[in-house]
Amino acid sequence: MMAKDAQRPVTQANQSILIVIPCLNEADHIGGLLGQLRPAAARLGGRIVVADGGSTDGTQAIVEKIVAKDPRVVLLANPKRLQSAAINLAVARLGEGADYLIRIDAHGGYPDDYCDRLVEEAVATGADSVVVSMLTAGTGAVQKAVAAAQNSKLGTGGSKHRHMSEGEWVDHGHHALMHIAAFKHVGGYDESFSHNEDAELDYRLRKAGYRIWMSGRTQMVYYPRSTLKSLYFQYLGYGRGRARNVLKHRMVPKVRQMIPLLVAPVVLLGLFSFVLWLAAVPFLLWATVCLGYGLATAVRRRNASIALAGVSAMVMHFGWSVGFWQQLLTPRSQRKVA
């Protein structure tokens, strides 16, 4: 018998949802986000949990004012400060009786009917998890360039959840809705992962017989890092997280993930070009492709502000590759949370 058989059937008329927002220093966004989600929670018979990792910018005070007015909103302390821990804690403390978990990123943008569409698709398809496309948008020059890179195959390797979908069964996507029964059955998120915890959980969901549906009716907007330094460290974490996934489950990386693995060795090889000039050729080819893509994109869109998309892609590739190799080559006894 598949694990899915353990779930109780849910119809759109009797569903109940738990909306969880992992949060840390989001004073500029949390008030507006809660204002947008509260009507959805009322419509769907749900409650909103803001799991705060110890904000110091006034975020907690904003949430507390809303909690005082709306009993559907709960402020929960998340001492571990990780998103994975925040959601596990919220489900453990407040998930009893709820059918669905909806994960919301505090620094993202959502349509007003986002939660409604997710529930509708879960009911219509019978999916155990409904994931969404994540479209990236920016405002400043660096953010716009990063967004252009992250929305491209060059930057993300054609990952399905980085592009609009018409609705399809997938192996992985940006986490949105999940049956709480399925979430609990596989043990929730692995809190030893600070990055890539969603892909790791999706692997366990599929292995347990659960199905993941990519929404064709809604999506979210992600606002990327605004500096190349922070972008590098973000992708360093992503690379380490992917390596931990490979090591934990003895997975073989996909082709689109294996190609960026070559970047760190190519850069390292290029450092020896003073000994043999041919050592620089792989690096120059990679740089030419990336920079050429950025310039071509800027010309095609008639937008000079995204000419740095190629540079952004190089930072993403390099950070991801370094992080992957760093985690892979670190002795097991010395490996940290990734």
The mean pLDDT of the chain is: 87
Per-residue pLDDT band at 185 (split at 50, 70, 90): very high
* For range 2-27, the mean pLDDT: 66
Domain ranges of the chain: 3-138+160-224, 230-334
- 222/239 Cα distance (integer angstroms): 19
For residue 107, give the amino acid letter: H
Which residue, chain included where needed, has tokens 């010309």? 299
Q: Can you say whether the dihedral through the CA atoms of 25, 31, 36, 38 is positive or negative? A: positive
d(CA 22, CA 246): 26
Residue 22: which of 99, 141, 106, 110 has the closest Cα? Answer: 106
What's the pLDDT score for residue 2?
Answer: 39
Q: How far apart are CA 114 and CA 218, in angstroms?
A: 6
**pLDDT of amino acid 7:** 40
Give the sign of the dihedral formed by CA 274, CA 272, CA 322, CA 173.
positive
Pairwise CA distance, residues 317 & 320, whole Å: 5
Extract the tokens encoding 291: 């920079």
CA angle 42, 43, 45 (to 5 degrees): 65
Tell me what pLDDT residue 5 has.
38
Q: CB atoms < 10 A from the CB of 299, how many?
A: 11
Query: Strands 108-109, 47-52: parallel, antiparallel or unpaired by DSSP?
Result: unpaired
pLDDT for residue 162 is more than 70: no
Q: How confident is the model at residue 258 (pLDDT cuts 50, 70, 90)?
A: confident
d(CA 104, CA 113): 13
Query: Scanning the structure block, which residue is given the tokens 């490996």?
Result: 335
In this prediction, residue 161 carries a pLDDT of: 59
Sequence-distant (≥ 6) Cβ neighbours of residue 292 within 8 angstroms: 310
Averaged over 53-58, what is the pLDDT? 93
Q: What percent of the chain has pLDDT over 70?
A: 91
pLDDT for residue 11 is more than 50: no
DSSP-derived pairing of the beta strands 100-103 and 17-23: parallel
pLDDT in tens, 91-143: 999 998 899 999 999 888 899 999 999 999 999 999 999 999 888 887 888 88
Please give the pLDDT value at position 337. Answer: 59
Residues 6+ apart with CB under 8 A from 7: 128, 179, 181, 182
Among candidate residues 17, 59, 3, 27, the one with its CA nearest the CA of residue 207: 3
* One-letter amino acid of 79: P
Q: Is the pLDDT of residue 1 over 90?
A: no
DSSP H/E element including 75: strand 73-77
Q: Is the pLDDT of residue 211 over 70?
A: yes
Mean pLDDT for 43-68 is: 94
Rounded to the nearest 10 degrees, the angle between the axes of helix 281-301 and helix 309-329 is: 140
Angle CA(177)–CA(178)–CA(182) in degrees, nearest 5?
A: 180
Class of domain 3-138+160-224: alpha beta
Note the pLDDT of residue 292: 93
Give the model's pLDDT for residue 163: 66
- DSSP line for 110-143: --TTHHHHHHHHHHHH--SEEEEEEEE--SSHHH
